Amino acid sequence: MESLLVCIGAPRLKDGGVPLPPSVILCADPERRLYDLLAVDGSDTAHSRYKALIRRLVSFESTIECVGLSTKR
């Protein structure tokens, strides 16, 4: 599940200075795969859990941009 979040966030994470292996960027349709994975555990709550994970990812990406990780390497 975490690897799919990294695939979803790969462009912003890479722009923010997070080193990512090339295979992460080649992930096919990570949003759909994450949603489907969450639906296996409980289709009634899949949407809310998906949105919560995406919010956490966006928050992390925003923090990296604010802190300027790429200048701290």
Domain ranges in the chain are 2-71
Whole-structure pTM value? 0.82
Report how far Cα 67 is from the mean position of its chain's Cα atoms. Answer: 18
Contact residues for 71 (Cβ-Cβ < 8 A; gap 6+): 17
DSSP state of 12: H
pLDDT digits (tens, 9 = 90+) for 12-68: 999 888 998 887 777 889 999 999 999 998 889 999 999 999 999 999 999 998 887
Phi, psi of 43 (to 5 degrees): -65, -25
